[in-house]
Amino acid sequence: MGRADNKTVMITGAARALGRSHALLFAEEGADLVLVDLGRESGGPYAMPGRKLLEETARDCRRLGSRVVTAVADVRDQSQVDAAVAAGLDEFGAIDVLVNNAGLLAPGGVMSHELSEEDWQLVVDVNLNGTWRCARAVLPHMAERRSGAIVNTASTGGLVAFEMFSSYVASKHAVVGLTKALALEYGRLGIRVNAVCPTTVEADPALRTESTAAVAASIGSSLEDYERSSASYHALRRLVTAREVSEAVLWLAADTAGGVTGTCLVVDGGFTAR
């Protein structure tokens, strides 16, 4: 039996990178999927995944045996988020798990006073407000069923600070706070809310990872040099893989973590142990 049998899982930012990794693992473990992404190649500081990449993720998940619904939605728009949730409910009748994965690392790489207000608002609106909007859309349904799990994507940047990425750090610290507040509010209704806090994730061409390279470029580094330098700050002397982060998300979402809520599961190779 799979660890996600008989569950419907909604994943935002599912077209590539961690979102694609999460989708593939949940598919392997028996889940039906509602896969959501922006669906256009503009709208951020680096190339956003188009509809083609979202459908590639869906195709690969169907090959693993999952039933899949795809939805194009910008997490900055509540009406689009609501429509994606409605599509999932129409097809499957329930959403058991929400994985809030959509997020932005940049614009960044500059001193805080050099950020424009638009740059600041973009990161906060996607990372924090988008997480809240998606939770807001699924929580009434979960509350009615008195069952559900939400896994928010925070970061080691939600626990410690990085220079030159103050908007990202602020937004991810806020996601940690939101996670705890929702856990307290909805625990009595049988809904668990947790966060996963990954460190820098090793780039994986098969997952169409681009954000790490964009961050490296923003500080004037190559991807290879950035990953090598970053790895030296980790106790394991390597970066974590997308699959390792996905395993943590799956565990938080599964019934075997039924007693876990309001916590942040750190997947960081020892980065924050210093």
The span from the CA of 102 to the CA of 267, in Å, is 18
Sheet-wide strand order for 264-267: 68-72, 32-37, 8-12, 97-100, 148-153, 191-198, 264-267
CA dist 148 → 89, 144, 160 (Å): 14, 10, 29
Asked if 51 contacts 73 with a C-beta cutoff of 8 angstroms, the reply is no
Coil, strand, or helix at residue 204?
coil
Asked if 127 contacts 155 with a C-beta cutoff of 8 angstroms, the reply is no
Task: Tally Cβ neighbours within 10 Å of residue 255.
Answer: 12
As annotated, the active-site residues are: 168
* C-alpha atoms less than 13 angstroms from C-alpha of 178 in its C-beta half-sphere: 25
The span from the CA of 145 to the CA of 143, in Å, is 5
Closest CA to 10 of 104, 134, 189, 143: 134
Q: Which amino acid is at 98?
A: L
For residue 15, the surrounding DSSP H or E stretch is: none
